[in-house]
Amino acid sequence: MTARHHQQRFESLLQQHRGIVFKVAALYSRSVADRDDLMQEISTQLWRSFGSYDEARAKFSTWMYRIALNVAISQARRERWSEGERFEPLEARHLETVGGGESIAEPDERLTALYAFIGQLDELNRALILLYLEDRSYDEIADVLGISETNVATKINRIKHKLRGQMAGAAITGA
């Protein structure tokens, strides 16, 4: 494969799965500027690692999540935000293009509460819930995070239970 073809393939796959980079960066950033910086850092690391990607071993999206989450978690650990610092409140600009590129103009109260809850989780649980909300299988989540499927199921159930308690405590109802 020529260097040009290699780069074009990478750019095509990155474009196809750009939502992964965005979502990971959004969940691990305190501001839009931090999110954009983290997206750049993730993209750079993806490019550096692309030569070692083996499609016979993992889907590109699984490999991409693994790298994106490792970069985000490593950065979060390096920065170790001080106790007084907090995430900015969720605003539409944080979620300019989620998933398939659709725009969220006005996040509703439940979505805002969900993102606030996710922002309070530790790095591993934040990664786990992101993958769960992406409808990834327990097997794939376990592969990306390097934990057992049983551990994935246990952690998801604990997070759901905690979330239900917080949502009920905040008197937020809905489907």
pLDDT tens for each residue of the chain, 175 residues long: 688 998 999 999 999 999 999 999 988 888 899 999 999 999 999 999 999 999 898 899 999 999 999 999 888 877 765 444 444 444 444 444 444 444 444 557 777 778 888 888 888 999 999 899 889 999 999 999 999 999 999 999 999 999 888 877 765 445 4
Is residue 133 assigned to a domain? yes
Q: Classify residue 97: in a domain, yes or no.
A: yes
Best CA proximity match to 80, nearest among 31, 38, 30: 30
Report pLDDT for 93: 40
Within 8 A by CB and 6+ apart from 132, the residues are 141, 156
C-alpha span between 61 and 173 (Å, rounded): 34
The reply to whether 100 falls in a domain is yes
Q: Is residue 174 part of a domain?
A: no
Tell me which amino acid residue 106 is.
Answer: E
Q: pTM (2 decimals)? A: 0.68
CA 143 from centre of chain = 15
Does 23 map to a domain? yes
**What pLDDT score does 91 carry?**
46
Distance of CA 171 to the CA centre of its chain: 27
CB atoms within 10 A of CB 173: 9
- Count structural domains, the chain: 1
For residue 153, what are the domain limits? 3-169
Specify burial of residue 37 (Cβ count, 10 A radius: 0-12, 13-18, 19+): middle
Specify if 175 maps to a domain.
no
Task: Quote the pLDDT of residue 2.
Answer: 86
In order of 28, 32, 46, 87, the CA distances from 41 in angstroms are 12, 14, 9, 20
Expressed in angstroms, the distance from the first to the final Cα of the chain is 50
- 152 domain residue, yes or no: yes
Contact (Cβ atoms closer than 8 angstroms) between residue 38 and residue 29:
yes
Helix axis angle for 60-79 and 123-133, nearest 10°, is 150
H-helix segments, 99-145: 109-120, 123-133, 138-145
Asked, for residue 80, whether it belongs to a domain, the answer is yes
Residues 6 or more apart from 85 whose CB is under 8 A from it? 30
